[in-house]
């Protein structure tokens, strides 16, 4: 039986809760992880009835502050676009999750639920289209602010997006050549086999260079350290300099949601997505011959947990990079994109084609 509108809305609500929940939690993770790396205690002051929970109430305190703080609009600003721009950024950051598969199938009686909000057969193309539109919120917000420093940040963001958007597409051409599809669910299914009878057939083993390039470009697309020239707190403050209250809050949240998005795409393309090694639709089939049969709901829970844990690992990795590397100069960012990552990505396509031809 086909999925009803209620099930589709339920899936959409789940994925939004996943993205927004992780995005909000990352504000705490960033404080605590940086504190651990710098031998500090980190955020631990916010409390409810004296209960602090190692600072977990800080995201809630941040949200209350953003909602209650005055949202100031400069007198010379283009008021409509100034108000709309942050919403554009967070909107395009969120709708990309619609095509990310977080599991295979869940059976409700005679209804089969695909654990993907929008099972598009061109899901990868949809993702790149959405990623390309996200920068409009940044540029419009900067221009509408009528502030020279904000405009400088917006132009930096636009130039950086152009430099790395091309490379972002080229880095995954090798994966497309191997899997012969741009359907994300199908790509995950094709990573369900094994090499030599025991090694998971994940994209990282087929495209190791593509993975390194994609993750680098993905971090650049999030505009976070070491690619945070559009913000540049010590130089220009950034495209959001005139924003306060929830306007700033939406820009702030967008950065973290994009970080979750890059982690989810990386997991989907290179680390098997929701795949668990040796787990098939009816349970575990281990290389040494043992079989552990499971019902459909248990298998689905394993798949969702696998996807979530992989995403959390890459969130941790991006935070570690963010608090380890210094910011690149603006010219270094553009040089890295055009002179190094793009040519190496093209070389990866050539090498992948040669390997495919040899193995045929």
Instruction: For CA atoms 126, 128, 129, 133, give the dihedral sign.
Output: positive
Q: What's the mean pLDDT in 147-164?
A: 92
What does the pLDDT look like over 301-335, one tens digit per residue?
999 999 999 999 999 999 999 999 999 998 999 99
CA angle (255 as vertex; 253, 257 as ends), nearest 5: 70
For residue 2, what pLDDT band results from cuts at 50, 70 and 90? Answer: low
Q: What is the pTM of this model?
A: 0.94
What does the pLDDT look like over 67-83, one tens digit per residue?
999 889 999 999 999 99
Q: What's the mean pLDDT in 244-255?
A: 93
Q: What's the mean pLDDT in 335-342?
A: 95
Maximum Cα interatomic distance, the chain, rounded to a whole number of Å: 72
Total length of the chain: 360
173: nearest Cα among 227, 113, 128? 128
CA angle (101 as vertex; 100, 105 as ends), nearest 5: 160
pLDDT of residue 87: 95
pLDDT of residue 1: 58
Is it the case that residue 4 has pLDDT exceeding 80?
no
Mean pLDDT, the chain, whole residue set = 92
Q: What's the mean pLDDT in 267-295?
A: 94
Token couple for 82: 């100034």
Is it the case that residue 343 has pLDDT exceeding 70?
yes
Spatial separation of the C-alpha atoms in residues 246 and 242, rounded to whole Å: 12
What does the pLDDT look like over 94-129, one tens digit per residue?
999 999 999 999 987 778 889 999 999 999 999 988
What does the pLDDT look like over 196-211, one tens digit per residue?
878 899 999 999 999 9
Q: Give the burial class of 347: count Cβ atoms within 10 A of its Cβ; 0-12 exposed, 13-18 middle, 19 or more buried.
A: exposed
- Which residues lie closer than 8 Å to 265 by C-beta, 6 or more apart? 100, 127, 214, 218
Strands (E), the chain: 105-108, 111-114, 194-195, 199-200, 279-280, 283-285, 291-293
307-313, long-range: CB within 8 Å, 24+ apart, which pairs?
307/102, 307/103, 307/264, 307/267, 307/273, 307/274, 308/18, 308/102, 310/263, 310/267, 310/271, 310/272, 311/22, 311/260, 311/263, 311/264, 311/267, 312/22, 312/263
Spatial separation of the C-alpha atoms in residues 32 and 163, rounded to whole Å: 32
Q: What's the mean pLDDT in 284-307?
A: 94
Q: What's the mean pLDDT in 336-360?
A: 94
Determine contact, residues 58/99, Cβ cutoff 8 Å.
no
Spatial separation of the C-alpha atoms in residues 325 and 319, rounded to whole Å: 10
Determine contact, residues 92/137, Cβ cutoff 8 Å.
yes
Q: What percent of the chain has pLDDT over 90?
A: 74
Token couple for 170: 């080229």
Determine contact, residues 157/333, Cβ cutoff 8 Å.
no
Q: Give the burial class of 262: count Cβ atoms within 10 A of its Cβ; 0-12 exposed, 13-18 middle, 19 or more buried.
A: buried
Spatial separation of the C-alpha atoms in residues 76 and 9, rounded to whole Å: 41
């Amino acid at each position: 039986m086909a999925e009803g509108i209620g099930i589709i809305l339920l899936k959409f609500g789940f994925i939004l809760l996943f993205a927004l929940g992780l995005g909000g939690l990352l504000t705490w993770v960033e404080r605590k992880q940086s504190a651990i790396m710098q031998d500090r205690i980190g955020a631990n002051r916010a409390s409810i009835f004296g209960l602090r929970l190692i600072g977990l109430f800080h995201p809630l305190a941040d949200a209350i502050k953003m909602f209650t703080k005055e949202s100031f609009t400069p007198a010379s600003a283009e008021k409509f676009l100034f108000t709309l721009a942050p919403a554009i950024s967070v909107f395009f950051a969120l709708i990309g999750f619609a095509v990310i598969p977080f599991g295979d199938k869940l059976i409700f009686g005679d209804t089969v639920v695909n654990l993907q909000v929008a099972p598009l057969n061109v899901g990868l193309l949809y993702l790149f289209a959405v990623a390309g539109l996200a920068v409009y919120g940044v540029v419009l917000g900067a221009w509408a602010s009528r502030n020279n420093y904000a405009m400088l940040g917006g132009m930096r963001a636009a130039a950086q997006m152009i430099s790395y958007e091309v490379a972002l597409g080229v880095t995954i051409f090798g994966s497309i050549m191997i899997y012969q599809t741009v359907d994300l669910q199908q790509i995950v299914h094709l990573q369900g086999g094994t090499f030599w009878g025991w090694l998971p057939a994940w994209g990282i083993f087929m495209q190791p260079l593509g993975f390194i390039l994609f993750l680098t470009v993905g971090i650049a697309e999030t505009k976070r350290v070491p690619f945070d020239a559009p913000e540049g707190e010590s130089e220009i403050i950034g495209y959001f300099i005139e924003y306060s209250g929830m306007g700033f809050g939406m820009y702030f949240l967008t950065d973290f949601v994009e970080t979750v998005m890059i982690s989810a795409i990386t997991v989907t393309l290179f680390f098997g997505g929701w795949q668990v090694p040796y787990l098939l639709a009816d349970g575990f089939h281990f290389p040494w011959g043992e079989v552990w049969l499971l019902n459909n709901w248990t298998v689905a829970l394993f798949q969702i947990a696998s996807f979530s844990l992989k995403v959390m690992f890459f969130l941790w990795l991006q935070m570690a990079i963010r608090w380890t590397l210094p910011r690149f100069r603006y010219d270094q960012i553009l040089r890295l994109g055009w002179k190094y990552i793009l040519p190496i990505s093209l070389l990866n396509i050539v090498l992948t084609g040669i390997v495919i031809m040899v193995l045929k």
